[in-house]
Amino acid sequence: MSDLTLYQALDVIDNLVLESETRTEVLPFDQAVGRILAEDLYWDRAHPPYNRAAMDGYAFPQNPVKGSKWVIVGTSRAGKRFEGEVKSGQCVKIATGALVPDACTTVVPWEKTAFSEKEVTINQEVKPGANIHLKGSDLQKGEMAVKKGTCLTEGHVALLSTIGAHKLRVQKPVRLALLSTGSELVAIDQKPGTEQVRASNFYTLKTLIARNRKVELVAAEFLEDDFEALERWFASVENAVDCFLVTGGVGTSDYDLVPELSEKRGFKTLLHGLAIKPGHPLFLSRKGDRVVLGLPGNPVSAVACYTMFATRLIRKLQKISNQPFASFEAGEDLVNGGKRLLMRPVRMNGKYVYPARWNGSGDVSALAHIDGFALIEPRSQINKGCLAECIAMGLE
């Protein structure tokens, strides 16, 4: 293995040149959250589409002065405009969101008035044009609403429904096959023997993948360290996937078979081995636009490398930009006494991070107390109060 730095490995992923056309499909807008928009969307009309009252109160045809009295001639409420004429000395009772009559130029909130059923008196000075949200003051018809390549969130739903975008063309998800390797692995509902363990990586990664709507899990299995069995499985699913995600089998022992299998299947190795902890044996290969990403077999290493590299690779396969690291203030000293960059498990609390309890890469119980990972350079520390670059566990 030739150890690359973390940032060199990220560059390898970022610089992948993808040649295949983007696969797309059409979905109802409320089923598209988490997916990547494959078309530009535009405002179908001005917003707001009419002069809209910004306050409950009264609409006046000219600026009312303090002490003036006005006759109420009608009411305008949201969806039910006042249809009559508003003359000098008259006003219209109006609700927030209602259409302001054409003749009216100012809305005065009711708390700045004294009013009866038929008449209003102005109690305070009023700024001309106040409390009217003018037609088109936010956006004009034809302006960009959502750009192609945007990852749609719940926050986009209001916008999409406002512009009538009830069906959307989005990218199809990355087709992913998950494989955990190891002759020691048994299913969650089996009692492990003395030298066996339940396949925790397999179930953890399935859970992380399931919450990422940019991914479709098309195959998932855990198998013994048997070359022929692994090759049969690879061959059976290869044409249906964009990415193989493998845990275990990527080190340098006689039973770490994934690099050899990848090469035999025609994949070219892009990286194998990083100067990081946890995650030293990370493996990446490609054949055309199809990739194999091999994660270490230790539980904390597998989750750390999924968070750092798999999510980035998935975004690359979707041809969208990466999520930047986030900066948090160290609530305690974060120490790295080793010779490799440390992805230190941390707990996140507001703007602060704290070192999580952690007894090494194989400490599966630590995962229940980890929110993310802080990056600490070799033989250095981030002092309490200083900023640390961090990534949240399972970032999408």
Interval 102-117 mean pLDDT: 95
Q: Say what the pTM is.
A: 0.86
Residue 277: enclosing H or E segment and its boundaries? strand 276-277
pLDDT band at 274 (very low <50, low <70, confident <90, very high): very high
Pairing type for strands 341-349 and 276-277 reads parallel
Residue 7 is predicted with a pLDDT of 95
Rounded to whole angstroms, the Cα distance separating 105 from 125 reads: 15
pLDDT above 90 (res 3): no
- Averaged confidence pLDDT in the chain: 95
Query: What is the model's pLDDT at position 323?
Result: 83
The CA distance from 199 to 22, in Å, is: 34
pLDDT single digits (tens) 276-317: 999 999 999 999 999 999 999 999 999 999 999 999 999 999
Closest CA to 61 of 118, 102, 117: 102
- Poorest-confidence range of 89-93, 181-185, 327-331? 181-185
Residue 19 pLDDT greater than 90, yes or no:
no
Structural domains in the chain (count): 4
What domain range is 384 assigned to? Answer: 326-392
**Is residue 111 assigned to a domain?**
yes
Taking residues 195-210, report their average pLDDT. 95
Beta bridge partners of 176: 217, 243
Residues 267 and 216 in one domain: yes
User: Same domain for 162 and 180?
Assistant: no
**What's the pLDDT score for residue 118?**
94
Beta-bridged to residue 177, according to DSSP, are 219, 244
Residue 46 banded pLDDT, cuts 50, 70, 90: very high
Per-residue pLDDT tens digits for 136-168: 999 999 999 999 999 999 999 999 999 999 999
Tell me what pLDDT residue 2 has. Answer: 65
What is the model's pLDDT at position 253? 86
pLDDT at 321: 87
333 and 220 both lie in a single domain: no
What CATH number corresponds to the domain at position 350?
2.40.340.10
Write down which residue in 171, 188, 217 finishes a domain.
Answer: 171
pLDDT at 343: 97
Q: Are strands 197-198 and 185-186 parallel, antiparallel or unpaired?
A: parallel
Write down the pLDDT at residue 390: 97
* 180 and 278 share one domain: yes
Burial of 82 (0-12, 13-18, 19+ CB in 10 A): buried
Tell me the pLDDT tens digit for each residue of 321-364. Answer: 888 899 999 999 999 999 999 999 999 999 999 999 999 898 99
Nearest to 14 by CA among 344, 366, 376, 311: 311
pLDDT of residue 227: 95
Q: Assess whether pLDDT exceeds 60 at residue 1.
A: no
pLDDT of residue 77: 96
List the CATH number of the domain containing 85. 2.170.190.11
31 and 81 share a domain?
no
Answer yes or no: do 38 and 167 share one domain. yes
Q: What is the pLDDT of residue 395?
A: 73
